[in-house]
Structure 1
Amino acid sequence: MFVQRGKRLLVMAAVAVALPFSLPAVATAATGPIELGIVPGTNDTSVTAIGDRGQLIGQSCANSPHSHSCVAVKWDKAGRVTRLEPLPGGFAEAKAVNATGMIVGTSNLRAVRWALDGSITQLSSPPGGSTSEATGISSTGVVVGSGKAGDDRQRGLRWDSSGNVTVLAAPPLEGAYYASAITRDGRFIAGRLYGTDGSTRVLRWDATGAVTMLGPAAVQSWFRDLNASGELVGDTVINDRHTAVKWTADGTMIQLGGPDSYGTSVLALNGSGVSVGRGYVATPAGSLDVAVRWAADGTMTRLSDLNGQAEDIDGQGRIVGRAGNAALWDANGVKTDLGTLPGGGFSRAQLIGLDGTIAGGAVTAGGDWHAVYWPAR
């Protein structure tokens, strides 16, 4: 579902950097995280996606000095864990969940979908296809991902709600291309291209199926997030520096401001065009990261001291990430420390759902990394 407008001139607008004289005030510390359930026989868990109603999916892994194995899982509102069964004789990864709780991912190198009752369906491949993966799902059940057709070339794929597969339009530059995300309403799809010229580009398809290729020629660009208006954020290379950028609905590229001459990286975007991520500042110990927010016009506000990163933002402008440990910032930039597990150490907030549920991870008293959540407030 991206627009096929071919190559276009990308205008890199210089953006003013707004650095407050002091960081926003810190609110009273919140109640600490709640540990999510773990599959017996495993010791590490992590959340990969959060649905509109607070549904959580991820993986539960058994890690030892000599082995590593994981199973796909989902958690209910009480934090109880359920294993998502793979295709016969294989493994599975859960990648995305939609508003109804339908989950998509990969099992045995094939794109799959799990229904609400946990039953798994293998999604069809293009004629002669060998492998596939599902990476995004809309509220209406449209799935996107990628796979190989009979000629063994990687292509972006779209499955309708009945599971019928369509190969997405190819970009104007040859190479392997993938679909990574779809908007809730299914109007826009975003992905990436590994071009035969050695560059990596960002792709966007619109509701007609036409594709637009974004990013400067002959450099690497990475897709991070997409909103319902068709705006995208990602990173690219400008003047040999890793730089956060936003592409507007018409394809114009805006450079997002940074805290100093070091690089920036953007991680998430909301429906109002506000984005979040990290910037780097020079210190006697070297370059360290700080959490930052960019307004719709690219103007930056610094949210944290050193050792910080903003990882997700919701429609109300609430931001989650880390500032030492897991943190929540309100729309005014006031920070709440989200705490750690009892007897544990570091914590990190990674996702905030439409209902306000926050998910992330934390170190347990035993030193393992476990998925955690903070209920909607």
Structure 2
Amino acid sequence: MKRWTSAVVLACALATAASVATPAAAAPTFSELPLLPGFSVAGAADINSSVVAVGEVSDNNGARAVRWAADGAITALPGLPAAKRTHASAINENGTAIGTSDEKAVRWGADGTVTALGSEGAMASYAHGINDHDVVVGVHLKPGWISSGVKWDADGKVQVLEPYDTRADNTPTAINNSGVIAGHSGRQPIWWDANGKVRALPTPQSYGRGETSGINERGDISGTIYFRDDERAVTWIRDLPGEHGHEKVYRMEYLPLPPNATHSRTTRISDVGTVGWVQFGSATTHAVTWDADGQVTELGVPAGRADSAANGISANGWIVGSARTEDPDKEIPAPAIRWAPTRPKR
């Protein structure tokens, strides 16, 4: 689903993929997902193979977590008692969703029932990723404003993850069904194996920082590497033999840009591809998907919108995201977007 330093400085075989690639799939089709009454803007964060999506609707007064059924019907997800804001960040194949209610990590059952995840005295907690065993990863914010990576089991019991750097934030972003976790610590992208051992992911020379955004069932990790004047979408491929002959480690590959794009970022990965956005010029962003072979396809910008971004991809290729208008007052409706799976050109 739906995010590795020993004597091995994980072999950094950086594949400098060509910076320009030709789209490899037919033009994608999309639909707008409905808004709740009284709200004008929405963004979908994730989607599962049953085409159930989660995200949020917002106005000038805040945000509210929602779920969209396969037919597009929208339902508000409840918050904890007295909560003013809710946000849904991920959903698994069981229909279990996660997110936050004000500053507390929560989990919603497939029936919409909300449950607080253990906070162990933290100032705040945030849930970032969930696998199909209902195991959740996220962070506890402790005094001093340092984030500790945590994992909640299916019963909500919390475990603090081994930190990579005790002086920096340690942020897990996603977990797959094997229990492998992706994340980052300070400027360093990292991963935890199924036994909880933390390690660094390989990085290029002279980079500013790196972060992860997702992990698939194969163990490949999506992320972004930031340079002084650039940001580039990458994947860490889990296919190189480790120092002990039985342990797999990672190599990093840049994901290609479509023609005329200058920057890129990932948001999620599944076994069929990776999603995110690319930037043209100084501001305009377009939602994109990279297939399992790394070929890029632009998902386009709906008519009347300023830009678009893809935020989630299911195991069977459904994609969700958002598309902004140029209306700072949020008076022009800007529903969330759902793209049907793309098909290769014949």
Q: For this structure pair, what is the TM-score category when the shorter chain's length is used for normalisation?
A: 0.7 to 0.9
Asked whether the 8 Å contact 1:254–1:298 carries over to 2, the reply is: no
Higher relative contact order at CA 8 Å, sep ≥6: structure 1 or structure 2? 2
Tell me, yes or no, if structure 1 residue 99 matches structure 2 residue 96: no
Contact 1:258 1:280 survives alignment (8 Å): no
**1:247 aligned partner:** 192
Bigger shift: 102-111 or 25-34? 102-111
**SS of match in other structure, 1:53:** coil
Is contact 2:22–2:295 with CA below 8 Å preserved after alignment?
Answer: yes
Match of 2:336 in 1: 371
Q: Does 1:354 align with 2:315?
A: yes
Q: The residue matched to 2:23 in structure 1 has which SS?
A: coil
Residue in structure 2 matched with residue 78 of structure 1 by the alignment: 71
RMSD: 3.5
Letter in 1 for 2:9: A
Question: Which amino acid counterpart does residue 93 of structure 2 have in structure 1?
Answer: A
Q: How much does 1:281 deviate?
A: 3.8
- TM norm structure 2: 0.74
Q: Residue 64 of structure 2 aligns to which amino acid in structure 1?
A: V
Query: Aligned ranges for residues 152-301 of structure 1 at < 5 Å?
Result: 153-154=121-122, 181-186=129-134, 188-194=135-141, 200-204=147-151, 212-237=161-186, 242-250=187-195, 251-258=197-204, 260-282=206-228, 287-296=229-238, 297-301=249-253
Letter in 1 for 2:28: T
Once the two structures are superposed, what CA deviation does each residue of 1:261-300 show, in whole Å capped at 9, x if it has no partner? 3322211111212111111345xxxx12121111113322
Mark the CA change 1:43 to 1:232 in structure 2 (over 3 Å): closer, same or farther.
same
Amino acid at match of 1:185: H
- Whichever of the two has the greater Rg, that structure is 1
Alignment of 1:102-117 (within 5 A): 102-103=96-97, 113=108, 116=111
One-letter identity of the residue aligned with 2:339: W
**Corresponding residue number in structure 1 for 2:22:** 25
Please give the alpha-carbon distance, in whole angstroms, between the structure 2 residues aligned to 1:226 and 1:310: 16
For normalisation by structure 1, the TM-score amounts to: 0.69
Aligned position for 1:328: 289
- Distance in 1 (alpha carbons) for counterparts of 2:198 and 2:144: 22
What secondary structure, in the 3-state scheme, does the structure 2 residue paired with 1:356 have? coil
Cα deviation code 1:183-222 (max 9, x no counterpart): 3124x55343556787544345779977642312323322
Matched, 1:344 2:286: no
Task: Give 3-state SS (helix, strand or coil) of 1:222's partner.
Answer: strand
1:221 and 1:44 map into 2 onto residues whose CA distance is: 31
Structure 1 unaligned blocks of 5 or more: 1-8, 124-132, 134-144, 155-174
* Aligned residue number for residue 313 of structure 1: 269
Q: Secondary structure at the match of 2:250?
A: coil
**Aligned residues of 1:201 and 1:215 also touching (Cα < 8 A):** no
